[in-house]
């Protein structure tokens, strides 16, 4: 069992530099346009030869209104009629993709993300799941992990009942903050009643778990205001919580230009909000899983961490290790065989490529043995805060101490600062070091250079 993290503001400030969140290794920055459809097909063949269950991801990019902080890949529109032509393209993609995978591979995980998946009408959602079942082997006994991102402004008890009927058993609810002043500043007006109604409906319908998304670092947030939001969330008792750090990158994300810099909490305020959030949630019985996720101690995520089977993927922390991930829809990222691949991001190119009968792949990356080894190291560190280098060495047929001699030397400053211990080839992250886990993982990242500074967000 992991001890709660210890908060050391001086160290957090000192280690506050931009870095990846390691939802993949190598990170998406390494993906390149040289990866094409032919390579994807080869990787699908490798995937079939290995067999095993699949994970499916569908990206539904539409949102009715824009939230100014949003960094997701989305299309903001009030025109609901845009959804059907897009779905028609998704069906074209699904036909091409499903032809590449053996039909007997069960879909262990399925996720609809966005944008706002419930922008679709009930009929459209039924059809999407129905067609998925025609192309892939969906589990019908509720033992898969089938999850959906819900904006409570775009769902009600009726929607939730239909989603359950379609096979969903997990949902995450976008909340961000209950404070009306914060909501106004980010253009996301959402009453507590709307959120709680969806949460209650999920419970009534027998969803296995509900997660709530919050963001700290938004305009006008203070420690007191955010604790008030947390108290209301704790009362609602979700199984999991994601508390994301708002990264203000207005040059990259257009809508963020409508957020005024002077209305944002200072880095010192953000640090205080983070500290009190961790204290508040752990006092209320939640376990900090790592980075920005919290879960109740009996939640599968917390259990997986205790049992050493936690995994990290594009949706954050996950309980299922390495199902091959077939991703469909604009901008979606898949992981098949030994490769990552990402689809084109705009609707027009997506449509044009599918009309020509081509898979809409924009870029990707085939991992080599060194990438796999480093991925295993980073996954262990970021998920379990502990690494048995000798065990990893045996698994990959290398001498861990020799292979990572430089990296182990680079850990010295972390050891001196009390963030971790190194005994032989065993690395243990100490409670003080848990919040700096990204920095520690960066030691093992072969691709990092200073250009990364501009692409990644900072801790504060
Ligand atoms: C695709 S959105 C969730 C689904 C739905 N559209 C909604 O907003 O309720 C996924 C989550 O990403 C988080 N998010 C979006 N932009 C962010 C940003 N700039 N910084 C931190 N978190 C962000 C929000 O917490 C949001 O709930
Ligand atoms: S946070 Fe969700 S609803 Fe808001 S713009 Fe982003 S994807 Fe759309």
Distance 63 CA to ligand 2 centre (A): 6
What is the residue with the minimal CA distance to atom 7 of ligand 2?
Answer: 115
Average pLDDT over residues 264-285: 95
Q: How confident is the model at residue 391 (pLDDT cuts 50, 70, 90)?
A: very high
Ligand 2 atom, smallest distance to 65 CA: 5
CB atoms within 10 A of CB 456: 18
Phi-psi region of 221 (alpha: psi -120 to 50; beta: other; left: phi over 0): beta
- For residue 174 the two structure tokens come to 């976008």
**Which ligand gives the minimal distance to the CA of 175?**
1
Between the CA of 306 and the centroid of ligand 2 the distance, in Å, is: 33
Ligand closest to the CA atom of residue 114: 1
Q: What is the pLDDT at residue 458?
A: 64
Q: How confident is the model at residue 457 (pLDDT cuts 50, 70, 90)?
A: low
Rounded to a whole number of angstroms, the distance between the first and last alpha carbons of the chain is 27
Rounded-to-integer distance, Cα 274 and Cα 218, Å? 12
> To test the ligand 2 pocket, which listed residue (174, 175, 176, 190) has its Cβ within 8 A of the most ligand atoms?
174
Ligand nearest to the CA of 147: 1
Residue 89 to residue 352: CA distance in whole angstroms:
9
Q: How far is the CA of 6 from the centre of ligand 2 (A)?
A: 33
What is the atom index within ligand 2 of the atom nearest the CA of 66? Answer: 5
- Tell the residue number behind the tokens 């909340």, with chain if given: 175
CB atoms under 10 Å from CB of 263, counted, come to 14
What distance in angstroms lies between residue 414's CA and the mean position of ligand 1's atoms?
32
pLDDT at 228: 98
Q: In angstroms, what is the span from residue 34 Cα to ligand 1's centroid? A: 30
Q: What is the mean pLDDT of residues 214-231?
A: 98
Atom of ligand 2 nearest to the CA of 151: 3
Q: Whose CA is nearest to atom 14 of ligand 1?
A: 70
Cis ω before 115 (30° cut-off from 0): yes
Q: pLDDT digit string (tens) for 165-207? A: 999 999 999 999 999 999 999 999 999 999 999 999 999 999 9
Q: Give me the pLDDT at residue 4, please.
A: 78
Which of 65, 72, 118 for mutating ligand 2's site (highest number of atoms within 8 Å of CB)? Answer: 72
Q: How far is the CA of 395 from the centre of ligand 1 (A)?
A: 37
Q: How confident is the model at residue 316 (pLDDT cuts 50, 70, 90)?
A: confident
pLDDT band at 2 (very low <50, low <70, confident <90, very high): low
In this predicted structure, what is the pLDDT of residue 318? 83
E strand spans, 224-383: 240-245, 287-290, 293-295, 311-313, 316-318, 324-328, 333-336, 339-343, 361-366
What is the tens place of the pLDDT at every residue in 396-439?
Answer: 999 999 999 999 999 999 999 999 999 999 999 999 999 999 99
Give the per-residue pLDDT at 451: 47
Report the alpha-carbon distance of residue 238 to residue 249 in Å, rounded: 30
Residue nearest to atom 15 of ligand 1 (CA): 70
- Sorted by sequence, the CB contacts under 8 Å of residue 365 that are 6+ apart come out as 26, 30, 31, 32, 35, 339, 340, 341
- The minimum-distance atom of ligand 1 relative to the CA of 256 is 19
Q: Is 36 helix (H, G, I), strand (E, B) or coil?
A: coil
The model's confidence at residue 452, banded by pLDDT at 50, 70 and 90, is: very low
pLDDT at residue 322 greater than cutoff 80: no
Per the CB < 8 A criterion, the answer to whether 36 and 305 are in contact is: no
Closest ligand to Cα 59: 1
Residue 455 has what pLDDT? 55
Residue 454, pLDDT > 60, answer no
- For residue 70, the CA-to-ligand 1 centroid distance in Å is 6
Mean pLDDT, residues 151-163? 98
Q: Is the pLDDT of residue 460 over 90?
A: no
Tell me if 320 sits within 8 A of 303, measured CB to CB.
no
Ligand 2 mean position, distance from CA 78 (Å)? 13
Band of residue 459 on the pLDDT scale cut at 50, 70, 90: low
Retrieve residue 78's tokens. 């009030």
What mean pLDDT value characterizes the chain?
A: 94
pTM, two decimals, is 0.95
Residue 112, both tokens? 């609809």
% of the chain exceeding 90 in pLDDT = 88
Retrieve residue 82's tokens.
């845009």
Distance 115 CA to ligand 1 centre (A): 9
291 backbone dihedrals φ, ψ, rounded to 5°: 50, -110
pLDDT cut 70: percent of the chain above it = 96
Q: pLDDT tens digits for 91-142?
A: 999 999 999 999 999 999 999 999 999 999 999 999 999 999 999 999 999 9
Measuring from each residue's beta carbon to the nearest atom of ligand 1, which residues come in under 6 Å? 63, 69-72, 113-116, 149, 151, 174, 176, 213, 215, 244, 246-247
Look at residues 63, 120, 49, 47 and name the one whose alpha carbon lies nearest to residue 90.
120
Cα Rg of the chain, angstroms: 22
- Mutation test residue for ligand 2: of 61, 65, 67, 78, the one with most atoms within 8 Å of CB: 67
pLDDT at 56 over 70: yes
Mean pLDDT computed over 63-89: 97
Q: In ligand 2, which atom is closest to the CA atom of 255?
A: 5
* Pairwise CA distance, residues 23 & 268, whole Å: 27
pLDDT of residue 332: 98
Q: Which mutation among 61, 70, 75 tests ligand 1's pocket best, with the greatest number of atoms within 8 A of CB? A: 70
Report residue 144's pLDDT band, with 50, 70 and 90 as the boundaries: very high
């Amino acid at each position: 069992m992991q001890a709660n993290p210890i908060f050391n503001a001086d160290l957090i400030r000192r280690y506050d530099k931009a870095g990846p969140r390691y939802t993949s290794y190598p990170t998406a920055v390494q993906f390149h346009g040289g990866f094409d459809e032919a390579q994807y097909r080869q990787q699908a063949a490798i995937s079939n030869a290995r067999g095993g269950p699949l994970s499916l991801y569908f990206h539904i990019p539409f949102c009715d209104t824009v939230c100014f902080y949003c960094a997701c890949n989305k299309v903001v529109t009030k025109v609901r009629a845009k959804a059907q032509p897009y779905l028609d393209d998704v069906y074209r993609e699904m036909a091409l993709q499903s032809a590449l995978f053996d039909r007997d591979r069960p879909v262990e995980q399925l996720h609809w993300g966005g944008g706002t998946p419930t922008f679709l009408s009930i009929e459209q959602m039924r059809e999407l799941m129905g067609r998925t079942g025609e192309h892939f082997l969906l589990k019908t006994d509720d033992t898969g992990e089938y999850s959906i991102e819900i904006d409570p402004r775009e769902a009600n008890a009726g929607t939730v009942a239909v989603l359950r009927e379609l096979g969903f058993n997990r949902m995450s609810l976008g909340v961000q903050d209950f404070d009306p002043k914060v909501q106004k500043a980010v253009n996301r007006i959402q009453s507590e009643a709307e959120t709680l109604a969806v949460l209650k409906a999920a419970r009534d319908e027998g969803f296995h778990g509900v997660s709530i998304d919050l963001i700290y670092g938004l305009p006008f947030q203070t420690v007191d205001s955010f604790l008030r939001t947390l108290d209301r969330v704790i009362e609602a008792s979700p199984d999991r919580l994601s508390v994301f750090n708002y990264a203000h990158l207005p040059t990259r994300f257009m809508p963020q230009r409508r957020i005024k810099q002077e209305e944002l909490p200072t880095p010192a305020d953000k640090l205080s909000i983070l500290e009190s959030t961790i204290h508040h949630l752990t006092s209320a019985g939640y376990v900090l899983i790592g980075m920005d996720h919290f879960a109740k101690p009996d939640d599968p995520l917390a259990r997986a961490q205790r049992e050493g089977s936690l995994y990290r993927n594009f949706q954050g922390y996950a309980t299922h290790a390495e199902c091959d991930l077939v991703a469909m829809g604009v901008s979606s990222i898949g992981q098949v065989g030994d490769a990552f691949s990402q689809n084109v991001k705009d609707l027009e190119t997506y449509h044009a490529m599918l009309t020509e009968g081509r898979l809409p792949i924009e870029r990707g990356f085939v991992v080599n043995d060194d990438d796999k080894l480093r991925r295993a190291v980073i996954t262990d560190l970021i998920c379990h805060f502990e690494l048995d280098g000798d065990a990893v060495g045996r698994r990959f047929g290398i001498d861990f101490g020799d292979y990572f001699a430089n990296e182990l030397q680079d850990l010295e400053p972390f050891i001196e600062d009390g963030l971790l211990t190194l005994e032989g080839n065993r690395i243990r992250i100490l409670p003080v070091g848990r919040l700096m886990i990204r920095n520690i993982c960066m030691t093992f990242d072969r691709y990092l250079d200073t250009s990364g500074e501009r692409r990644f967000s900072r801790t504060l």
